[in-house]
Amino acid sequence: MRITGPNGTTLGTPTTATRRTSSSSFSLPEETASTSETRATAAPKASANIDALLALQGIEEDPAERRRRSVKRGKVALDVLDDLKLGLLSGNLDAATVNRLREAAANLKSSSGDPGLDSVLSDIELRVEVELAKAGQF
């Protein structure tokens, strides 16, 4: 595909002569059709991408990072429970809060590696499940 400028002339015209500087012996060879390389295009191997993903999944994550994520999930669940409480007290229980509560319950299933934190998260999960059962959504 050739790109031309607004007046129909080409933007870059190749020169056929070799350029030489006054003190240098370096020169660019002329490009001919016989010296140009043609390379076959090959599709990338999908197995290499899958292997890389599997290798990343196999990496053991840092226990401190796993604990931090678990604490964050617990805080989110407690915040949603607080929103549910406020909605019930005001008489405005909406479906969005119940959906957020359902998502929070699903996120609390993973282990943090810390037995004390796992016990607290288990208690939060139980409370979330009770509230979902009260709402008729579990």
| pLDDT for the residue numbered 118 | 86
What is the pTM for the complete model shown? 0.52
pLDDT at 47: 56
User: What is the mean pLDDT of the segment spanning 30-58?
Assistant: 62
pLDDT for 79: 92
Q: Which residues pair with 10 in a beta bridge?
A: 4
**Selected residue with higher pLDDT from 137 and 72:** 72
User: In this structure, what DSSP letter does residue 89 have?
Assistant: H
User: How confident is the model over 55-81, as a mean pLDDT?
Assistant: 82
Q: How far is CA 23 from CA 18, 28, 30, 98, in A?
A: 15, 15, 20, 81
* For residues 24-36, average pLDDT: 64
In this prediction, residue 138 has a pLDDT band, given cuts at 50, 70 and 90, of very low
Instruction: Tell me what pLDDT residue 65 has.
Output: 84
